[in-house]
A and B are shown apart, each in its own frame.
Chain A
């Protein structure tokens, strides 16, 4: 087990290194650079800027210098936010995204598993149709529409109630989590519901379930101990990367609800071609993802003892 873990960690580091390298060179290949602005600057100022940021060095030199800094855990200073270190940006904003993301995922997972199982149980009858309709609507409407509609609904709700029941936007107390987490988790919840349903339907017909029932086991026990546990594998598979994606993503949600998370930086950094932030966020996300995948693979072994990974 320890050898397996070690091997996986080494593989992970190599993967992250590949990610960093590919991103670094892609970034420099794209036309434009972080120093370009709406109002062009005279030649001499441009030269000063390039020297100041080390962009006048040949590319391989910049790469090695960057790699050296990265190994020491220093991701440099942002080009657009001229006084903030990338490390600080990640350190200050990741907890916000992570907490929101975890709540969203908890809701998505709980909802997805519960409703997926219910639709499988009541297949062909009204709960199935109703939930499936909800799933269809949830995935056909794009995220930013749902977020905008949700915010409008909050404004109307507050107006009808005559006082502020829910915050329209912002961050700071637990109530700021409610609607953004719901909206953020909606897409994943719909996906998990479908997955769970499909998975459960297969399991329901399995022979060992028949056996258990024949043995006289109660429905509830069969449901939780056997059906759920066996059907949950695809859900776990999806949840792993979903944790990484949702806790760092949610760009639209953060924009609409003015949440100071990390998600905005991913997109804005590319739009601004902010080299250091692009590298920092990509490497961070890559490392996070790799870690989650390792965790999932290990989790497989616990859920289904028959699975041997590696």
Chain B
């Protein structure tokens, strides 16, 4: 509006009800936080993932009712299968083999002059239960060694695994029962003079099928004769080193791992945050005392005190001690968070709003809980997301010494421990538990990020 200012311009405006109408509803800190969390896509997806994992743990046993402790020694460390077919074999009587006649063996010869067997053949159907082999006697031999490998041998040193060292030149057969996995194997037989091996060898390629003994089949309810085939139970994620279904173990392990992985960090961080908050705010003597006690706890030898805990809580031999485990892990974890939070509090307590609130008469608990801790949310949430995998692995470690879950109860962490031994040949035993742990960590990380963004007081109202 052009022109010089008049006295009228300074008259107060009449009240206008429209202006006093709230444009949007008044929100508390938490309501605002929830709204912002919902809007964060990745965090919301993470929340969904967390719920999915919980569902996996709780509803899993109903959807996949396989006993996680049931061992199937016929399917050790198998990759994911959808029900393989196995041949039934009758192994109720021992195979005595076919000894060679004295005339075939002859007088003993030194190793350098021994030849190789003229024939190596398989007897009956070769299955993962047994592969029966026999060979022609080598004249002059005083013993044999039978090897097995997974590729055609290129030379004498490449024959593979020595299965048996036979002493005596007339024993020319052997039954391989040492876990011949289904697939192709190359058996080689070498003559010895009782001490050294000959240079020559005879190899045979054998296709081994998956097999099941009649006794075992009967135990599982199949009344079929030898030679028939049955379909074995499917294992969508494969089996472990004792033939237990991995999916079932993951589902049952989820309960333990998720429970420990959530509760232990939550408890230790809540306690640690409060402890650190009080120490940082009060300062002086109290701070010194509290922090020295935290140092004391950290410096104690962990393993030693865990052993003591186990005895102290009277966990019976071979029993699962979840409550003591939780307590032990909380007592382990709180100093880290306490120190972090204390550091933050030391900085925050000098901030203006804190001084102001104190001048207005706010008490210590109010100040710590209402003003200072929400501003350390960032650090607390980072601690939380790291404490989750750490808790899972600590539980695995403690199960080794008898705290935590007792066998055969599985947990993701101990499945990782077991899986690492067979990492080279059966990676699935390590891969699947590691994957679910990664998913859990990812979910909590994203959720934690989203929560921090949603609850960060300074971001309020700036979206």
Contact = CB atoms under 8 A, between A and B. Distances in A.
Question: Taking the complex as a whole, does A directly touch B, i.e. does some CB pair lie under 8 Å apart?
Answer: yes
Interface of A: 11, 14-16, 18-19, 22-23, 26-27, 29-31, 132, 135-137, 139-142, 144-145, 148-149, 152, 190-191, 194-195, 198-199, 201-202, 205-206, 233-234, 236-238, 241, 266-267, 270-271, 278, 281-282, 285-286, 289-290, 293, 300, 304, 306-310
B347 interface: yes
Given A30-B308, A142-B396, 8 more contacts: A19-B296, A29-B308, A139-B390, A195-B382, A201-B378, A237-B340, A241-B298, A300-B346
Nearest to A279: B301
Contacts of B416: 142, 145
A237 B339 contact: yes
Nearest to A193: B382
Given A30-B304, A241-B339, A202 B456 contact: yes
28 contacts: A11-B292, A15-B295, A18-B296, A22-B300, A23-B300, A27-B304, A136-B445, A142-B413, A145-B416, A191-B382, A191-B386, A198-B378, A198-B379, A202-B458, A237-B339, A237-B340, A237-B343, A271-B303, A282-B301, A285-B299, A289-B299, A293-B295, A300-B346, A304-B347, A306-B350, A307-B350, A309-B283, A310-B288
**Which of the listed residues A142, A238, A289 has the most CB atoms from chain B within 10 Å of its own CB?**
A142
Q: Give the interface SS of chain A, mostly helix, strand, loop or mixed.
A: helix
A307 B344 CA distance: 10
A233 B389 contact: no
Contacts of A152: 424
Contacts of A139: 386, 389-390, 441
A15 B124 CA distance: 74
Interface size class of B (residues with CB under 8 A): 35 or more
Contacts, number: 144
Contact of B284 (A11, A293, A310): A310
Interface in B358-403: 378-379, 381-382, 385-386, 389-390, 393, 396
Contact of B283 (A18, A26, A195, A310): A310
B438 A137 contact: yes
Given A18-B296, A29-B308, A237-B340, A310 B452 contact: no
Contacts of A190: 386
Given A30-B307, A136-B441, A307 B291 contact: no
B441 A140 contact: yes
A31 B393 CA distance: 26
B287 interface: yes
A307 B346 contact: yes
